[in-house]
Amino acid sequence: MKDPFLVIKKKHLAFREDVKHLLNIVQKKIKKEKIKTLYLDFSGVNFLSRSFMDEFLNILDDFKKKKLIIKIVNLKPQLEKFLWQIKKKKEKIRKEMNKTRG
Amino acid sequence: MIYYKKKISFSGLNRELIDISKKIEGLKLPKGFLEFINYTLFELFANIKEHSRAKSAVIEININKKNCLVKIIDNGIGLRKSYLLKKIYPKDDFAAIEFALSGLSTKNLQERGFGLYSIRKLTNALKGEMIIKSGFTQAAIKESQINFKKTAQKIQGVDIIIRTPVKLLDFYKAVE
């Protein structure tokens, strides 16, 4: 069986509603095809805002908790670097918050 | 190279932003500068859409070979009220602007809220200037310094003015 792919058609992903829209499509595909792993193809995406990435990373975490794997493929190198930076920053904030809570 | 000024209704923000972005992407700009402009516009538009409750916004963009101006004025609830609605309590407009510039989100105390904070960092990296007005307060940020002053008239929503030279920028380093 071929790995399930989902090609993102929007060139700019910036707002919370973009994340919600993407989440809807992903959930429908997972349910319909009964899959555990989904590849999201970002090859046509030129811009991701920080807000989008932040919300998107939250969603990836939620899927991970449900043992569903969403893999990002063909993301432009500079956007990949940016996403990685935000991921690291989020992890740092979470660690600091956990420390504060004891 | 580009001059754009328009009053945009809330429902037209998405479409207009994509149009502006396409126009700007067609310009010959120094490396990293296009990312700066796109990032700034998308984050500011996201703020309007997600926090301001504005009915409309006036957008002005002027980019020539040397200088860039971005001016965005919304007629929403302003920074302080936006925080108050999320049960975050800045004591006045000064504090609300400080919260926004320090990266405190109105969405969730643990995350987000890096929009204005990052734009400030990027503007500093370009040795530019950023002015934020909300309520009875104006903050002018230049060379990492913030100067606050009271405004004679109340600003209904949020006014943001960004002026920078058009030059090379290590965007991904500056935005970290």
Nearest to B25 by CA among B8, B7, B37, B43: B37
Whole-prediction pTM: 0.87
The nearest CA of chain A is from the CA of B151 a distance in Å of: 30
Does the beta carbon of A74 lie under 8 angstroms from any beta carbon of chain B? no
The nearest CA of chain A is from the CA of B170 a distance in Å of: 11
Does the beta carbon of A49 lie under 8 angstroms from any beta carbon of chain B? yes
The per-residue pLDDT of chain B, averaged, comes to 91
Place of tokens 């004891």: A102
Q: Which residues contact A7 (CB under 8 A, 6 or more apart)?
A: A41, A43, A44
The residue-averaged pLDDT of B80-101 equals 91
Q: With contacts defined as CB-CB under 8 Å, which chain B residues touch A78?
A: 35, 171-172
Handedness of CA B63, B116, B51, B156 (dihedral sign): negative
Query: Hey, where are the domains in chain A?
Result: 5-101
Is CATH 3.30.565.10 what the domain over B2-174 is classified as, yes or no?
A: yes
Query: Hey, where are the domains in chain B?
Result: 2-174
Does the beta carbon of A27 lie under 8 angstroms from any beta carbon of chain B? no
Does the beta carbon of A15 lie under 8 angstroms from any beta carbon of chain B? yes
Percent of chain A scoring above 90 in pLDDT: 55
Q: DSSP code of A5?
A: E
Does the beta carbon of B35 lie under 8 angstroms from any beta carbon of chain A? yes
The residue-averaged pLDDT of B74-87 equals 93
- pLDDT at position A15 is 86
Query: Residues B119, B40: contact at Cβ < 8 Å?
Result: yes
Does the beta carbon of A43 lie under 8 angstroms from any beta carbon of chain B? no
- pLDDT at position A73 is 95
Percent of chain B scoring above 70 in pLDDT: 94
Q: With contacts defined as CB-CB under 8 Å, which chain A residues touch B115?
A: 50-51
The residue-averaged pLDDT of B5-11 equals 96
The nearest CA of chain B is from the CA of A77 a distance in Å of: 11
B78/B98 Cα distance (integer angstroms): 13
B166/B124 Cα distance (integer angstroms): 13
Retrieve residue B141's tokens.
Answer: 């940020």
Predicted complex ipTM: 0.76
CATH number of A5-101: 3.30.750.24
Nearest to A47 by CA among B101, B13, B24, B4: B24
Count of pairs with CB atoms under 8 A, one residue in A, one in B: 57
Query: Residues B38, B96: contact at Cβ < 8 Å?
Result: no
3-state SS, one letter per residue, for chain B: CEEEEEEEEHHHHHHHHHHHHHHHHCCCCCCCHHHHHHHHHHHHHHHHHHHHCCCEEEEEEEECCCEEEEEEEECCCHHHHHHHHCCCCCCCHHHHHHHHHHCCCCCCCCCCCCHHHHHHHHHHHCCCEEEEEEEEEEEEEECCEEEEEEEEEEEEEEEEEEEEECCCCCHHHHCC
Q: Which residues pair with B58 in a beta bridge?
A: B7, B73
- pLDDT at position A1 is 56
Confidence of residue A97 (pLDDT cuts 50, 70, 90): confident
